[in-house]
């Protein structure tokens, strides 16, 4: 199956009442771990890359890694998504690389500027059949070059924003946070806000900053020389409540980073004579697989890969131009 548009993925998730994990990728081992989980769970998957990941992989390497993943897993529906695009130029680069979905993040801008930027991206991306995720409201925390103070999404603004921009999915701020150091105590998310926004905008919602930062991942890192302390992530039951109210895409990045870091630290501590990167990166790949597999089960996407029929970007171009 060729890469599919985000719209198709989220529409199927809507029919099935589940959420689809969106997992950030920077290298081959991450991607292999993600795809192993998707294959075993028979789950659709969203593979996403940030601007930093594109730079890290010199752009073209990531493109071909994903092509290899699709070729190796022909029965798995895969979306290739740009995470936190900051400009039309970044979006153009991603589309040229074959991305089937892009996010334009104007959440840090005043409302009217966010509307204008998002509309510009929607008009451009839809010409190529590419889906667009936008964001309204801001999350706390820091991850890569994403930083900000919490500003919850306003339902009135969300309704107006979606009508004026025509975006396909909307990332909302309900109290989640970027990075490993999310919260000093277990967070309380504004779950009722999800339902209100969903009822108003009537398009799939996206949850950013949704890593759970499991204690066992932090403990493994710390046991082998790390220093991850005083952090709580987003509890899985809270994410499941959000899915029940209209969230269909759930971004997970910190958890897989922590899983890889812990696995590499443990391997090198226990086998200090290791000089073959394949050994410790193989352990990291397996750690990613375990995290992604558990999220696919928790989000409800496991078992749904067979629901998808091929839908090309050409099909989406025709749909957007109706």
What's the rounded Cα separation, in Å, for the pair 260 and 263? Answer: 5
Sheet (strand 177-178) strand order: 146-147, 140-143, 177-178
Instruction: Report residue 132: phi and psi, to 5°.
Output: -130, 125
| Residue 300, C-beta contacts closer than 8 angstroms, at least 6 positions apart | 16, 17, 18, 19, 240, 243
Using the structure block, give the residue that is written with the tokens 């290298």.
27
- Which tokens is 215 given? 């204690």
The answer to whether the Cα torsion of 152, 155, 156, 160 is positive or negative is: positive
DSSP-H helix ranges across 42-108: 51-56, 60-72, 88-96
Parallel, antiparallel, or unpaired for β 131-136 and 20-24?
unpaired
Angle of CA points 123, 62, 90, to nearest 5°? 30
Using the structure block, give the residue that is written with the tokens 């306003």.
154
Q: Is 273 known to be catalytic?
A: no
Which residue is catalytic, options 72, 83, 307, 315? 83
What's the rounded Cα separation, in Å, for the pair 203 and 206? Answer: 10
DSSP string of 199-233, one letter each residue = HHH-S-EEE-S-----HHHHHHHHHTT----S-B-
Catalytically active residues are: 83
């Amino acid at each position: 199956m060729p890469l599919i548009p985000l719209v198709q993925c989220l529409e199927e998730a809507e029919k099935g009442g589940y959420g689809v994990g969106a997992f950030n990728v920077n290298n081959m081992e991450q991607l292999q771990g993600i795809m192993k989980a998707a294959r075993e769970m028979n789950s659709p998957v969203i593979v996403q890359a940030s601007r930093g990941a594109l730079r890290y992989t010199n752009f073209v390497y990531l493109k071909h890694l994903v092509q290899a993943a699709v070729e190796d897993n022909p029965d798995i529906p895969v979306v290739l998504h740009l995470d936190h695009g900051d400009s039309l130029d970044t979006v153009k680069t991603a589309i040229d690389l074959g991305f089937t979905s892009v996010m334009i993040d104007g959440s840090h801008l005043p409302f009217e500027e966010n509307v204008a930027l998002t509309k510009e991206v929607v008009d451009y991306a839809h010409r190529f059949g590419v889906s667009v995720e936008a964001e309204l409201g801001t999350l706390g925390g820091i991850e890569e070059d994403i930083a900000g103070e919490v500003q919850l999404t306003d339902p009135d603004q969300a309704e107006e924003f979606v009508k004026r921009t025509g975006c396909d999915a909307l990332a909302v701020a309900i109290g989640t946070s970027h990075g490993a150091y999310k919260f000093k105590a277990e967070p309380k998310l504004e779950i009722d806000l999800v339902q209100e926004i969903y009822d108003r905008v009537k398009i799939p919602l996206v949850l950013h900053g949704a890593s759970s930062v499991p204690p066992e991942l932090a403990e493994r890192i710390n046991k082998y020389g790390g220093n991850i302390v005083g952090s709580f992530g987003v509890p899985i039951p809270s994410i499941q409540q959000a899915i029940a109210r209209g969230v269909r895409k759930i971004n997970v990045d910190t958890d897989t980073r922590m899983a890889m870091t812990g696995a590499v630290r443990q391997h090198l501590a226990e086998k200090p004579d290791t000089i073959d990167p394949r050994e410790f990166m193989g352990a990291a790949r397996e750690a990613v697989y375990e995290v992604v597999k558990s999220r696919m089960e928790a989000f409800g996407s496991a078992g749904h890969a067979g629901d998808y029929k091929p839908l090309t970007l050409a099909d989406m171009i025709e749909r957007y131009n109706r």
